[in-house]
Amino acid sequence: MIRTCQMCGQKNRQSAAHLHREMRCARCKTPFGPIAEPIDADQTLFDDVLANAPLPVLVDFWAEWCGPCHLAAPEVAKVAREMAGKALVLKVNTDRHPDVSSRFGVRGIPNFVVIRGGKAVFQQAGVVSAAEMQRWLEKAAA
């Protein structure tokens, strides 16, 4: 994944295995905290994170036209901020990446899947609170 430094604009590569760690910009050495926002994932990034991330991953399957998905988005962002360094949050657009959503039998959106060690450990469709999503991730991490 490429992360852009807010201070100097340098593009820095960070592997999926290290997205939960702090890093420094290669040019100016400004520290980056762990990822604290949902990551828009295509199939390649999705597979890389699932294969290499040592943390539980919350996947939000959504679409641009979906009203409930837009209602869930602030809750998903809140989970990403509060669980930074303890979990990762991916967003997969089901219209752009139907192959990824079909792997998890996604029939309705928003649909949330918690993955640990490359395997789905929990799945639920529908809008839920950030607190509920956080409980899923904490349970998966235990």
28 is catalytic: no
25 is catalytic: no
Spatial distance between the Cα atoms of 34 and 1, rounded to a whole number of angstroms: 13
Phi, psi of 126 (to 5 degrees): 105, 160
Write out the catalytic residue numbers: 66, 69
